[in-house]
Chain A
Amino acid sequence: MTVKAFFKSTAFKSLAVLIAIVLAAGALLAICNDLLHISEEERLARSLSKIYGTDVTATEVQLTEEERSYTYGTVNAVYYVQNDGNYLFQTTGKGGYSNGNGKVTLWTVITCTGTREGGDLALTGIEKVVYDSNEGQSFISTLGASFYAAFADRDELVAGGGYFTATEETDDLYNVATGASESSNAACNAVNTALACFRTVLMGGDA
């Protein structure tokens, strides 16, 4: 086949059209990605607005790598909310769907009395748990508002040092959504990570 024949062949035309479509699609997506980019500040403002329903002022609490890592999850960020004196945790819980490798990231508002500086900080309960994102959780939409609200209904147990579980039914610490038990497990681990971080790092005690 001559060069001229190759450039006139169907194979070349097919390849050229496919490459042209891919390049045009890539260029369009690159432009849109830039136009529709969401900055970290915008994400934080959006999350705070979703949690509180109004604008609040929050300052980030600095943590070391060691203070962020726990057996069942990691702490992404901790904020001290100046409006009400509570602490806001963004945590990622492990143990979700996808052979236990799936993750669920939640925002947890922990209510407390006292101050960290004064050394009399005490956990009194969970005010609110709000969904943030997930990795590989197909049935995350099964976790409805009632699932997240259940975390805020157990202040007495949480203040007494308890944790949540989605794998075994033990009195009031049980919290699992039907049809999404593994995603529930990851969500419980995310909340437990926030509780563990508050107890060990902010209160300076044992998890």
Chain B
Amino acid sequence: MNASMKKYGKIAYDGLITNNATFKLVLGTCATLGMSTSAVNSFGMGLSVTVVLLLSNVIISLLRNVIPNTVRIPAFVVIIATMVTLLRMVLEKYIPDLYDSMGVFLPLIVVNCVILGRAEAFASKQPVLESAADGIFTGLGLTCALTLIGIIREFLGSGSFFGIRVMDFKIGFFTNAAGAFFVYGICIALFVLITDQIDRAKRVKQARLLRVPAGDAPLPPTDAQTEVK
């Protein structure tokens, strides 16, 4: 694998897993809780944020040497607000159902911490292609997380899956705000548990390899080795 592939692989892994905006960084919570009543709404919101992230990251990266440091935040906000307004127009014209269902959360994408956060932390310092990749993968990480929460809440709260009724029951708790917090919390806990297990397994493997003398076969794990954190 060449260096370029490794670089984009790391950007992808960071956006999807390590720095997952929803489950790891807990950013954009307002939209996550408000829009995840159904899987379709969540997916639509995720894709909308992805598009805005991609466009704003590309433009900010292109202008990173032109925008003075002192006015970078107002400049980023103007660029992000322009992209969101543009997205609103396109959705209202071509996907009116999604536009209607997103309601007030669509213009609120402007103040979504994920977008301003990636603009400030990544796009304002990196070249265009890397910034575009960061926008896509951060957006996809957020879309997957939102859709997962939406699927769970829709299934338990309405007994349906992407609008198709599959079960004849409803638990109203999951359609309201308390249910959103509950599902969100459980998802964060599971995500952190799984990623921690994977990281621990990786570290144990690295520690074992470091202790193997050159040319010898790997040794079976000992208690001391498996306890390496």
Contacts and interface: CB of A to CB of B under 8 A. Distances in A.
Co-assembled chains A and B: yes
Interface stretch (A9-17, A69-77, A80-88, A193-201): A9-17
Contacts of A53: none
A-side interface size class: 20 to 34
Interface string B159-201: 0000000000000100111000000000000000000000000
B147 to A, nearest CB: 15
A29 B103 CA distance: 20
Given A14-B68, A18-B74, A32 B86 contact: yes
Contact of A22 (B35, B78, B96, B103): B78
A131 B81 CA distance: 27
A178 B104 contact: no
Contact of B93 (A36, A131, A133, A144): A36
A5 interface: no
A38 interface: yes
A17 B175 CA distance: 46
A141 B103 contact: yes
A131 B100 contact: yes
A127 B78 CA distance: 46
Contact of B176 (A10, A28, A134, A178): A178
A95 to B, nearest CB: 18
Nearest to A10: B68
Nearest to B63: A21
A13 B68 contact: yes
A179 interface: yes
Contacts of A144: 38, 158
B96 A138 contact: no
Nearest to B158: A144
A137 B106 CA distance: 12
A28 B75 contact: no
B85 to A, nearest CB: 6
B: interface residue count bin: 35 or more
A25 interface: yes
Interface string A123-153: 0000000010110111111101000000000
A28 B175 contact: no
A10 B70 contact: yes
Contact of A179 (B66, B96, B177): B177
A29 B85 contact: yes
Given A14-B71, A178-B175, A138 B103 contact: yes
A33 interface: yes
Interface in A51-104: none
Contacts of B34: 138-139
Nearest to A97: B104
B89 A178 contact: no
Contacts of A10: 68, 70
10 contacts: A14-B68, A15-B71, A17-B67, A17-B68, A21-B63, A21-B78, A141-B103, A142-B175, A144-B38, A178-B175
Interface of A: 10, 13-15, 17-18, 21-22, 25, 28-29, 32-33, 36, 38, 46, 131, 133-134, 136-142, 144, 178-179
